[in-house]
Chains A and B, each alone.
Chain A
Amino acid sequence: DAKTTQPNSMESNEEEPVHLPCNHSTISGTDYIHWYRQLPSQGPEYVIHGLTSNVNNRMASLAIAEDRKSSTLILHRATLRDAAVYYCILRDNIRGGADGLTFGKGTHLIIQP
């Protein structure tokens, strides 16, 4: 899978929007962009995924750059419960070989009350 680059940590205030960046300059045309988050002492939780167009769901929005070399996860109104490690992951669902997602270290999001 192509690599992603995320900041180690970010801090935001409660009830404010949060923009979590991810760079993936070597992304291929068939790579999906996935976001997962991991709350303390829990397993990862799916947040959102997309291919080319921006995506919205009840948890977040995913904004994908036109050249697809970067993306941003947007939490519209952060709460203390959103404090977690956020992982940006690319997955090619076309090619053969090992299945599964490759998790990096992610971004540790800190929410201040």
Chain B
Amino acid sequence: NAGVTQTPKFRILKIGQSMTLQCTQDMNHNYMYWYRQDPGMGLKLIYYSVGAGITDKGEVPNGYNVSRSTTEDFPLRLELAAPSQTSVYFCASRARGDEKLFFGSGTQLSVL
């Protein structure tokens, strides 16, 4: 099982550029999440989805957008990248009724 797969692993953006961080899971999980982790800090929830076609804001949604057109994929879109968005981004998923979260290996993003 691949689990939760994130691409790319590293990316450098210029201020004002946009990009999409990809996340896909092959476990047929209903719930998916995007977190960001700044150096030396815990993870903060950006957006989450409880199923295809349903998304909702987390703690730090400003500057990001998400979509959930399929159960497997949950892309995170950055429009007009800013230095404050320099961070490591983690995608996670879980099955309905299960407390256990599965995380991807992360995307390290630098905005210069």
Write 18 A-B pairs (CB below 8 A) sorted by A numbering.
Answer: A42-B105, A43-B92, A43-B104, A44-B101, A45-B103, A46-B100, A49-B99, A49-B100, A98-B45, A98-B57, A98-B58, A99-B33, A99-B50, A100-B48, A101-B45, A101-B101, A102-B45, A103-B44
| Interface, chain A (partner B; CB < 8 A) | 32, 34, 36, 41-46, 49, 87, 91, 93, 98-106
Which residues of chain B are within 8 angstroms of A99 by Cβ–Cβ distance? 31, 33, 48, 50, 56
CB-CB under 8 A for A100 and B106, given A36-B101, A44-B101, A49-B100 = no
Tell me if A43 and B31 are in contact (CB < 8 A).
Answer: no
Cα A42 to Cα B44 with chains together (Å): 16
Give the residues in chain A near B42, CB-CB below 8 Å: 87, 102-106
| Contact assessment for A43 and B103 in the assembled complex, using a CB-CB cutoff below 8 Å | yes
Residues 41-62 of chain B, each 1 if its beta carbon lies under 8 Å from chain A, else 0: 1111100101000001111000
Chain B 27-42 against A: per-residue CB contact (8 Å), 1 yes, 0 no? 0000101010000111
Interface size bucket, B side?
A: 20 to 34
CB atoms of B33 and A46 under 8 A apart:
no
Q: Is there an interface contact between A93 and B31, defined as CB atoms closer than 8 Å?
A: no
The answer on a CB contact under 8 Å between B104 and A98 is no
| Contacting residues, chain B, for A87 (C-beta < 8 A) | 42
In the assembled complex, the CB of B104 is this many whole angstroms from the nearest CB of chain A, namely: 6
B3, closest chain A residue (CB) = A43
Interfacial chain B residues near A98, Cβ < 8 Å: 45, 48, 56-59
Shortest Cβ-Cβ A-B pairs, 5 listed: A43-B103, A103-B42, A103-B43, A100-B45, A46-B100
A64 vs B67: C-alpha distance when bound (angstroms): 39
